[in-house]
Each structure stands twice: as structure tokens, then as C-alpha cells.
Amino acid sequence: MIHTQRTHRPAPPTGWRGLAARLPVLVYRMGLGALFGERLLLLHHTGRVSGQDRRAVLEVLESDSRAGTWVVASGFGQRTAWYQNLLAEPQTVIQCGNRHHAVTAHFLNPEEGADIMARYARRHPRTARRLCAFLGLPADGAEDGFRDAGRAVPFVILRAGSGFRPK
């Protein structure tokens, strides 16, 4: 069953919560990105208006270290700055742990997003429920609910270039 009801998504954090959300960027800048393992990555992106280098730490929902792919999601929607910046310039660099990779962003369709969210919910059921609740997405804990939520979230796969070497 597809839920057509959409609730209002929260705005990205500001104030002290925004500062706390930016702390992982500082951890990467200090050279301690390995502390996050493969669960988080640092996305370098160029501001589409300012042209300045920007950074965002994102949760890796799925990855294939042999193929050089990482899947991330824009929980706050398509208006998120990093997402808009990747639409304008899909070729960029990510950092996983202490390794940098040149990647190209590919934007997934809603059905691919549904598949990814369903797999993520099987691996991390509590986190998936909390995430959906926080984002105001209907998910009752059943796979169909997570698939519906996945259709409402923009997913991006970051693919390493031809010079990628697996660890």
C-alpha cells in the first residue's frame, strides 16, 4: 500500500543542534575520520552559487568497497544544499575513514530508494523506525511502510572513478 499522505519534514538543525550536527566535519578535519569506520563519509561539494568548497558528513546506507560505491540519502529532501550542489556538479570527492575517492553522483529513482530503505530497515530496524519518525515519514515497522518511506527520500549513489583501488 502506498501512503499518499505527506507530513511536514523538519528543517535541518540550527543553533546548538546545528553545531552538534557539524561536529563530525571537524573530526574529519582533525584527521580522525577513521573513528567513524565505514558508517559515515565526508562529502566535499562545491557551492552552486558561491563556488566555495563545502563539506557534509553523511551516513552510508549501503556500500560496496570492491566496486567503489556508497549510497547516501537526503533525509531533509531535495532542497538540502549538498543535494542541490551535487545536482549542479555531480563529480566530487568523498572521504571514508582516511581515504579520499573521486566519485560521481547518480540520483536514484523512488523504486530504487524503496529497495534501499527496505534493506536498511532489515539491518537497522530501530534506527530506521526512529529516522522515519523524525523525518515525519509514515513507517509502521513493516517492510511496506519502509518501502513507502524510501520512495519519499532522495537517494544518491556515489560511484568511484576508473582509478579506484579497493582496500
pLDDT at residue number 16: 65
pLDDT at residue number 14: 72
Q: From CA 126, how far away is CA 128, in angstroms rounded?
A: 5
CA torsion sign for 33, 104, 84, 143 is negative
Can you give the pTM of this predicted structure? 0.85
pLDDT at residue number 20: 67
Strands 69-73 and 99-107: unpaired
pLDDT, average across residues 9-28: 73
Percent of the chain with pLDDT over 70: 88
Q: What one-character DSSP code corresponds to residue 141? A: S
- Express each pLDDT in 33-79 by its tens digit: 899 989 999 999 999 999 999 999 999 999 998 999 999 999 888 99
When comparing pLDDT for 19 and 111, which is higher? 111
Q: What are phi and psi of 139, to 5 degrees?
A: -150, 115
Domains of the chain (ranges, CATH numbers): 15-160 (2.30.110.10)
